[in-house]
A and B are shown apart, each in its own frame.
Chain A
Amino acid sequence: RKEVEQDPGPFNVPEGATVAFNCTYSNSASQSFFWYRQDCRKEPKLLMSVYSSGNEDGRFTAQLNRASQYISLLIRDSKLSDSATYLCVVPGRGAGSYQLTFGKGTKLSVIP
Chain B
Amino acid sequence: DARVTQTPRHKVTEMGQEVTMRCQPILGHNTVFWYRQTMMQGLELLAYFRNRAPLDDSGMPKDRFSAEMPDATLATLKIQPSEPRDSAVYFCASGLGPSYEQYFGPGTRLTVT
**A residues with CB within 8 A of B:** 31-32, 34, 42-46, 49, 87, 91, 96-105
Instruction: Specify which chain B residues have a CB less than 8 angstroms from the CB of A46 in the assembled complex.
Output: 101-103
Interface string of B68-111 (1 = CB under 8 A from A): 00000000000000000000000100010111011111110000
Q: How many A-B residue pairs have CB under 8 A?
A: 46
With A31-B99, A97-B98 known as contacts, the answer to whether A43 contacts B104 (CB < 8 A) is: yes
With the chains together, A99 CA to B91 CA distance in Å?
14
B27 sits at the interface (CB 8 A) = no
* Contact (Cβ within 8 A) A103 B101: no
Q: List 8 A-B contacts (CB under 8 A).
A: A34-B101, A43-B105, A44-B43, A91-B98, A97-B99, A98-B56, A100-B45, A102-B43
In the bound assembly, the distance between CA atoms of A87 and B43 in angstroms comes to: 10
Q: Quick check: B98 and A98 within 8 Å, CB to CB?
A: yes
* Chain B residues in 8 Å Cβ range of A103: 42
When distances are taken between beta carbons in the complex, the residues of chain A under 8 Å from B103 are 46
Q: How far is the CA of A26 from the CA of B66 in the complex (A)?
A: 30
Which are the 8 A-B pairs with shortest beta-carbon distances?
A104-B42, A43-B104, A96-B98, A102-B43, A32-B99, A46-B101, A44-B104, A98-B98
Contacts of B56 in A (CB 8 A): 98-99
- The 0/1 profile, CB within 8 Å of A marked 1, for residues 32-45 of chain B is 01010000001101
A43 to B97, CA, bound (A): 20
Q: Are B43 and A43 in contact (CB under 8 A)?
A: no
B76 to chain A, nearest CB (A): 18
Chain B residues near A91 (CB, 8 Å)?
98-99
